[in-house]
């Protein structure tokens, strides 16, 4: 994975996502119910690693496997067969609710982490709600940036440990986002490709 390097927000990240989304739509066609820009690069003004995170939402576990296989056939590298996201305290303990496929970009392309998740499951909701909460709460986004920068300074050469420690901070933000969501009637955007 290499060193953890946090860089200033790049206004080119949304366009990079849109280019990726177009290619993914052509590859996956109707298998993809949604293609969303997620993670730090999807939050305007937020510093991040220069890696575009994309979530492809599919209908069920069969479509999850089909999408991952189709992407592999188009040069994407699968990081795990069918893995899972970590379980968040106070949420579903059913392992199926956290299942996903993770793929990385074809050789010679910009860095991408592609997460394929099932529509309506907690891990799919987590990525979208986390993003939208940070977009709506710039002060929380700045606090999250501070956490990432401090962790990167401490764990620059240990990207796995960086991700593990950062995960706890993300869960705190997510739990606050779950409290916020009903107060504003939050729902995921009804778009197949979302970007501010």
Percent of the chain clearing pLDDT 70 (strictly above): 95
Reading the block at residue 99, the tokens are 């299942």
What are the tens digits of pLDDT across the range 100-121?
Answer: 999 999 999 999 999 999 999 9
The C-alpha atoms of residue 171 and residue 112 are separated, in whole angstroms, by 22
pLDDT tens across 127-137, in order?
Answer: 999 999 999 99
Answer whether 133's CB lies under 8 Å from 173's CB: yes
Residues 6+ apart with CB under 8 A from 56: 24, 28, 32, 34, 35, 67, 114, 115, 116, 117
* pLDDT tens for each residue of 85-105: 988 989 999 999 999 999 999
Domain 13-194: which CATH number of 3.30.460.10, 1.20.1530.20, 3.30.450.20, 1.10.3720.10? 3.30.460.10
Domain boundaries, the chain: 13-194
Taking the CB of residue 96, how many other CB atoms lie within 10 A of it? 10
Average pLDDT, the chain: 93
What is the reported pLDDT for 1? 53
Contact present, 134 and 173 (Cβ < 8 Å): yes
Query: What's the pLDDT score for residue 84?
Result: 86
Cα–Cα dist 147/152, whole Å: 8
Q: How confident is the model at residue 2 (pLDDT cuts 50, 70, 90)?
A: confident
pLDDT at res. 79: 76
Dump pLDDT digits (tens) for 139-156.
999 999 999 999 999 999
Contacts 24+ apart (CB under 8 A), 167-173: 167/86, 169/144, 170/130, 170/144, 171/88, 171/89, 173/130, 173/133, 173/134, 173/140, 173/144
Average pLDDT estimate for 36-56? 98
pLDDT at 193 over 60: no
Query: Is pLDDT above 80 for 168?
Result: yes
């Amino acid at each position: 994975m290499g060193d953890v390097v946090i860089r200033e927000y790049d206004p080119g990240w949304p366009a990079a996502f849109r280019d990726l989304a177009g290619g993914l739509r052509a590859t996956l066609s109707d298998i993809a119910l949604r293609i969303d820009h997620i993670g730090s690069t999807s939050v305007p003004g937020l510093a991040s690693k220069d890696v575009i995170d994309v979530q492809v939402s599919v209908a069920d576990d069969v479509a999850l496997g089909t999408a991952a296989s189709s992407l592999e056939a188009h040069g994407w590298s699968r990081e795990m067969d069918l893995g899972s996201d970590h379980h968040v305290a106070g949420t579903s303990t059913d392992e199926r609710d956290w299942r996903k496929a993770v793929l990385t970009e074809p050789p010679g392309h910009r860095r991408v982490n592609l997460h394929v998740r099932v529509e309506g499951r907690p891990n799919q909701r987590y990525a979208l709600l986390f993003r939208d909460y940070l977009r709506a709460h710039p002060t929380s986004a700045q606090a999250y940036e501070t956490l990432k920068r401090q962790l990167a300074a401490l764990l620059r050469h240990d990207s796995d440990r960086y991700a593990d420690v950062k995960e706890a901070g993300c869960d705190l933000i997510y739990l606050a986002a779950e409290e916020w969501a009903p107060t504003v009637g939050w729902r995921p955007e009804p778009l197949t490709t979302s970007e501010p």
